[in-house]
Amino acid sequence: MEKYLLSCDWGTTSFRLRLVNRTDNLLIGEVISQNGISSTYNSWKASGEIPREIYFRQQLAEQIRILSQKLAVNLDGITVVLSGMASSSIGMQEIPYAQLPFALNGSSILMKHFGEQDGFNNEIMLLSGVSSHHDVMRGEETQLIGVAELTDFPYHENAIFLFPGTHSKHLYVKQGELTQFKTFMTGEVFNLMAGQSILKDSVEVENQANHSPETLESFKAGIEESGVASILNALFTVRTNQLFHLMNKKQNAMFLSGLLIGSELRHLIKETEWKLVLCSGKNLYELYKTAIETLNLSDRTLIVPSEIVDRSATAGQIRVFEHQKLTLNKLNL
């Protein structure tokens, strides 16, 4: 079973466990749930006196059991590589952040090793995140390592890698190293505006993967508006669009999305010395691609297929595991 790996991407609101063949990145099977770090941490706090690490192990063991049953394969003895928010202050155990510059070959990442224990027959390699002087991330750095493994982009060139999400990340890479990054609260602000603000009755959020021509035009209008007024002023336009019957609620939701994504990406117009690399999952792929086209950034943008982005965390974990194994072998020579 040495050629196999259990790849676990445990985010704030989601959980994904995969069995992969690390020699060829082949996905053998996976389980996905909404039991993210946040809800798991809250459940642990409500559970009583059980140590946090043990509680998280129990939750992980249950998902391994489900995957084992699904595949009809005994997964005992297979190392779990765990990235995302699992190494945060609300995760299994907090690990200090790695610092910049951060190498894309997996050598810079910090990790904590946990051996097998009674009732848990898998070693765990818990990966850290990365911090700068004023920003932090956990998970995207592993995805970046994976994208570097799965693509042939010339990493000696200056490039900004864009990872859309609840907290979108813009990762600046020079000479094969991550040198700085910026976080944009695009997705979270959208959810707050659409779900809890005065704008909530002016919008109707549709399936983000399917957009009509009419709603896409509203999205583009929002992108254009993001360059006309400050975002705090422009946001109120969502309300007046509805009051003056300028857009229906679905169109208005897309207008709001365009405002926020346009505000996130607009600074890239001035970053003329940098190539852009869009690394988006399926849900946001069409919106960010459209935004890049609308802002006339297409000529210097490489778009990584969403299928590769979906595999990037796993590929990054495999790269880190291989580097760690190589380092240990050298130490044992």
> Could you tell me which residues come within 8 angstroms of residue 189 by beta carbon, excluding any fewer than 6 positions away?
260
What CATH number is given for 186-306 in this structure?
3.30.420.310
pLDDT score at 330: 39
d(CA 9, CA 93): 15
For residue 80, give the DSSP letter: E
Distance CA 96, CA 111 (A): 9
d(CA 328, CA 97): 22
Give CA angle at 171 (170, 175), nearest 5°: 150
pLDDT tens digits in sequence order for the chain, 333 residues long: 679 999 999 999 899 999 999 988 899 999 999 999 999 999 999 988 899 999 999 999 999 999 999 999 999 999 999 999 999 999 999 999 999 999 999 999 999 999 998 889 999 999 999 999 999 999 999 999 999 999 988 887 899 999 999 999 999 999 999 999 999 999 999 999 999 999 999 999 987 667 889 999 999 999 999 999 899 999 999 999 999 999 999 999 999 999 999 999 999 999 999 999 999 999 999 999 999 999 999 999 999 999 999 999 999 999 999 988 755 443 343
Which residues have C-beta within 8 Å of that of residue 333, sequence separation ≥ 6?
none
Listed residue (144, 117, 128, 94) closest to 316, CA to CA: 144
Dihedral sign, CA of 51, 53, 58, 63?
Answer: positive
Q: Within 13 Å and on the Cβ side, how many CA atoms surround 152?
A: 0
Contact 304, 275 (CB under 8 A): no
CB 51 within 8 A of CB 92: no
The dihedral through the CA atoms of 52, 55, 60, 61 has a sign that is: positive
Domain boundaries defined on the chain: 4-138, 186-306
Q: Which secondary structure element, helix H or strand E, spans residue 221, and what is its range?
A: helix 213-225
- The per-residue pLDDT for 208 is 62
203-207 long-range contacts (CB < 8 A, ≥24 apart) are 203/238, 203/242, 203/249, 203/250, 203/252, 203/253, 203/256, 204/248, 204/249, 204/250, 204/252, 204/253, 205/253, 206/250, 206/253, 206/254
The whole-number pLDDT of residue 331 equals 36
Q: What is the CATH number of domain 4-138?
A: 3.30.420.300
SS3 32: strand
CB 64 within 8 A of CB 123: no
Cα torsion angle, 191, 193, 194, 197, sign: positive
Its pTM stands at 0.93
Q: Do domains 4-138 and 186-306 have the same CATH topology?
A: yes
Name which of 144, 219, 213 is nearest 177 in CA terms. Answer: 144
